[in-house]
Amino acid sequence: MLQALSAVPADAGAYGFLNALCQSLLDHNLNLQWAWYAFPINGRPLLPYQEFGIQQRPYITEEPQDPCYQALNNNTTLTYALDNPDCPEWLQALRPQLAEIIIVPFGIEEQKALGVVGSSEPGYFARVGTDFFSAFAYMGDMIMSLQRQSRRDPLTGLYNRMELDERLERALDHADHHQRLLGVAMLDIDNFKDINGQLGRLGGDQVLVEFSQRLQKNLRKEDMLLRMSSDEFVLLFEDMERWADLEVIMERIRQSLDQSFSINQQNLTIQVSIGVTVYPLDDVKPREIIHHADLALHQAKRQKDQKAQFYTLYDPSSIYDPNTPQLIARRQHYHALLDQHVITFYQPIIHIPSGRIFKVEALARLVENGKILETGEFLPWLNAEDRRALSCQVLEQAALQWRLWQDSGQTVAIAVNFEPQDLLLEEVILFIENILNRYQMAPEQLFIEVLEGDEFLDYASAKVQLGRLKALGVRISLDDLGTAYASLLRLKDYPFDAVKLDQAFSRHLESRPRDLHFLASMLEMANGLGVELIVEGIENNEVLAAVSALGIRYVQGYVLSRPITAHDISQRFLSQKLPIQSNESSLLVAFARFLVLAKGLRAVLQSMPQSINVQMTCDNLSCPLYPLLDTIPSLRGKREQLQQVITDISERQLSHEYNLEFYDHLTADILSLMASHITATM
Residue 495 has pLDDT above 70, yes or no: yes
> What are phi and psi for residue 109, nearest 5 degrees?
55, -125
Q: Determine the topology of domain 2-151 in CATH.
A: Beta-Lactamase (3.30.450)
Mean pLDDT over residues 300-321, rounded? 70
- Residue pair 52/28 in contact (Cβ under 8 Å)? The answer is no
Mean pLDDT, the chain, rounded, equals 83
Query: Which CATH fold topology does 337-574 show?
Result: TIM Barrel (3.20.20)
**Using 50, 70 and 90 to split pLDDT, how confident is the model at 486?**
very low
For 647-673, write each residue's pLDDT tens digit.
888 877 656 676 788 888 888 888 888
Q: Is 258 exposed, middle or buried (0-12, 13-18, 19+ CB in 10 A)?
A: exposed
Residue 274, strand partner residues? 187
Task: Give CB contacts under 8 A, 24+ apart, made by 296-304.
Answer: 296/186, 297/186, 297/187, 297/188, 297/273, 299/275, 300/273, 300/274, 300/275, 301/188, 301/190, 301/273, 304/190, 304/273
Dist. CA 48–CA 37, nearest whole Å: 6
Which residue from 345, 346, 359 is spatially nearest to 500, judged by alpha carbons? Answer: 359
* Residue 490 · residue 455 · CB < 8 Å: no
Q: Which residues contact 515 (CB under 8 A, 6 or more apart)?
A: 505, 506, 508, 509
The pLDDT value given to residue 348: 96
Q: What is the pLDDT of residue 1?
A: 39
Q: Read off φ and ψ for residue 118, nearest 5 degrees.
A: -115, 140
Domain boundaries, the chain: 2-151, 161-321, 337-574, 593-680
DSSP-assigned beta bridge partners for residue 119: 32, 100
**Mind giving me the DSSP string for 375-444?**
HHHHGGGS-HHHHHHHHHHHHHHHHHHHHHHHHTT---EEEEEE-GGGGGSHHHHHHHHHHHHHTT--GG
CA 183 to chain centre: 30
Predicted local distance difference test score (pLDDT) of residue 644? 82
What's the Cα-to-Cα distance from 261 to each of 145, 235, 267, 471, 552, rounded to whole Å?
30, 21, 6, 55, 37
pLDDT of 276 reads 93
- Residue 64: asked if its preceding bond is cis (omega within 30°), the reply is no
The confidence score (pLDDT) of residue 454 equals 45
| pLDDT, tens digit (0-9, with 9 covering 90-100), for 81-117 | 999 988 888 888 888 899 999 999 988 767 788 899 9
Pick from 341, 349, 343: nearest CA to 569? 349
Domain 161-321: which CATH number of 3.10.310.30, 3.40.1260.10, 1.10.10.10, 3.30.70.270: 3.30.70.270
More confident residue, 541 or 637: 541
Query: If you count them, how many residues does the chain have?
Result: 682
Give the tens place of pLDDT for each residue, 5-30. 444 444 445 566 777 778 888 888 88
- d(C-alpha 666, C-alpha 35), whole Å: 22
Residue 317 pLDDT grade (very low, low, confident, very high; cuts 50, 70, 90):
low
For the chain, the C-alpha Rg in angstroms (whole number) is 28
Question: What would the pLDDT profile of 413-453 be if each residue is shown by its tens digit?
Answer: 999 999 888 888 899 999 999 999 999 999 999 999 987 55
